[in-house]
Amino acid sequence: MPDSATHTGIASAPKLTAAMWKAGTLAISRGTGMAAQMAVQIAVGALAGPAGIGALQLHMAWGSLLGELVGAGEPTRALRDHSLNSQQGSGLKRGLLKASKTILLYSAALGTFVLFLVLSGLAETLGLSTGSLLTSIIVSAPLFALTRLFAETLKALDHALWAVSLENSIMPLVILGTCALIALEVVAVSQALILASAVGGLLLGLCLMIISVRQRWGSTRANGAAHTGDGSDKNNPKPISVRGESLHFWLNGLLNIAFLQLPFLIMPWLVSVEEVGRYAVAHKLLNVITTLLILLSAVYGPKFARAAATADSAGLTTLLGTTQRISLAIFVPAAAIMLILAEPLATLFSLDEGSLLPLLLLLCGGQLINAATGLAGVLLNMSGAAHLEFRLLVVSWLATTTLAVPLGLYAGATGIAGAIAGGIALRNVISYVAVRRHIKSFGAETP
């Protein structure tokens, strides 16, 4: 037994190293995209002022939120299902066409509703802009949803690096190109032009993803024919299908966005603008690290789905443990460096001395629990337990909101940071407990 254990430990080391390398390349890709996005903020600010930055930020925030709304949970389903039928080119094509039709149908309903608001005059009553900003948001919503659909499909087909690169880099590069034309006085600066470039960048990225997936159709069709002689692979496991799953995929996506934006939804009612700004700096700094953790789902989401489809409880346990180790390896040193540099960072962002560190300490505490529990929520979504993830999200969202209001009134941004950290910790602890029990159910079902 000791020899076997030693051999297992030696064999797992190269796998962990390979996983860390893949995570590192994804982090570099995402980091490049974030640098490009930061450059966009600087360029747009220099050319169009704060109004230009604000319009672009509203376009991104509302476009992505409405994109999640019209997406109807189809991107999450694509990541799960296409991880299992990657050898079936015809099945891949049918699934994507069906999902795309669903997204376009919901987008048409959204567009009709907005048109009704504009024509009836309710848009102005509600304080909604009816100009280029509203137009760009409505046009972008289906593009955001379709981009996520094809990006998740590429991740399911083990092209995570390419998907992440297209998702995060194409739009900012197109906007920067437009800013260069404005700076060279080839075109005149306008808010409408900057928003149009954002829409154009989103469309270009989507087109490149569609081309990449279409190339994959041909190769999967050939592989399927090689396996069975008739273009299908009978050995592929079937996706786990649970009643109401699409609705839970949909609601989970919306609740995740709501949980992420929760402090900014309630802070204007509880604290001063200065406190909002102080919290926003801490949030954005920590978001640099947590975004890297989210990228792991691009690699391990498909692996979770494949292991769950074959009721491989031991494989699921191993995969979850790997995500825990990688997450901690990324988070702990990065958070330590950020905490050490808290005072210089406060000075850089024009904050008072000692005002940033308490927020970072609280938020890092919550995110440490997030890293330590790995991708528990992703595993639930990929293994037929999206309904459990939904219930946990509702409980943690309500608990966090209940805590945030009194703590925000009592201690301002620091109190809200404590509530958010507590909510993050609660969400991840109960998700981890739930996922461990869920994994055991696979073992019980296995003869």
**Please, are residues 351 and 414 in contact by the beta-carbon 8 Å criterion?**
no
DSSP state of 374: -
Q: Is the dihedral of CA 183, 189, 195, 196 positive or negative?
A: negative
109 contacts: CB under 8 Å, gap ≥ 6 = none
DSSP state of 73: T
Give the model confidence (pLDDT) of 1-50 as tens digits.
Answer: 444 444 444 445 555 555 555 555 556 666 666 677 667 767 777 787 76
Token look-up 């850089």 returns 348
Q: Which long-range contacts (CB under 8 A, 24 or more apart) does 311-315 make?
A: 311/442, 311/443, 311/445, 311/446, 312/442, 313/439, 313/440, 313/442, 313/443, 313/446, 314/443
Read off the pLDDT of each residue in 351-376 and give the average, rounded to a whole number: 92
Complete DSSP assignment for 84-128: TSTT-HHHHHHHHHHHHHHHHHHHHHHHHHHHHHHHHTHHHHTT-
Closest CA to 359 of 428, 408, 427: 408
343 contacts: CB under 8 Å, gap ≥ 6 = 353, 354, 356, 357
Read off the pLDDT of each residue in 289-314 and give the average, rounded to a whole number: 82
For the stretch 129-158, what's the b/e string if a residue is b when 16 or more beta carbons lie within 10 angstroms of its beta carbon?
eeebbbbbbbbbbbbbbbbbbbbbbbbbbb
Read off the pLDDT of each residue in 310-314 and give the average, rounded to a whole number: 87
Three-state SS for 217?
helix
Tokens of 32: 């490049």
* pLDDT of 254: 83
Give the model confidence (pLDDT) of 326-361 as tens digits.
Answer: 899 889 998 999 999 999 988 877 778 888 899 999
| Side chain identity, residue 37 | Q
Separation of alpha carbons 325 and 371, rounded Å: 8
**Please, are residues 150 and 19 in contact by the beta-carbon 8 Å criterion?**
no
DSSP state of 233: -
Q: 436 versus 78: which is more confidently predicted?
A: 436
Read off the pLDDT of each residue in 229-248 and give the average, rounded to a whole number: 60
pTM beyond 0.85, yes or no: no
| Side chain identity, residue 229 | G
Separation of alpha carbons 144 and 159, rounded Å: 19
Separation of alpha carbons 299 and 67, rounded Å: 23
* pLDDT of 9: 44
Tokens of 280: 């926003």
pLDDT surpassing 80 at residue 265: no
What's the chain's length in residues? Answer: 447
The percent of residues in the chain predicted with pLDDT above 90, rounded, is 24
* pLDDT of 371: 92
Three-state SS for 190?
coil
Closest CA to 140 of 48, 73, 65, 38: 65
**Please, are residues 191 and 51 in contact by the beta-carbon 8 Å criterion?**
yes
Tokens of 64: 């992505």
| Side chain identity, residue 345 | L
Give the model confidence (pLDDT) of 171-181 as tens digits.
Answer: 888 988 988 89
Closest CA to 45 of 59, 31, 55: 55
Q: 115 versus 31: which is more confidently predicted?
A: 115
For the ranges 59-68, 99-108, 389-398, the lowest mean pLDDT is seen at 59-68
Separation of alpha carbons 348 and 336, rounded Å: 18
The percent of residues in the chain predicted with pLDDT above 70, rounded, is 79
Give the model confidence (pLDDT) of 146-178 as tens digits.
Answer: 998 998 888 888 777 778 778 878 888 898 898
C-alpha Rg value of the chain to the nearest Å: 23
pLDDT surpassing 80 at residue 425: yes
Closest CA to 416 of 223, 276, 218, 229: 276
Closest CA to 27 of 164, 222, 189: 164
Read off the pLDDT of each residue in 427-447 and give the average, rounded to a whole number: 80
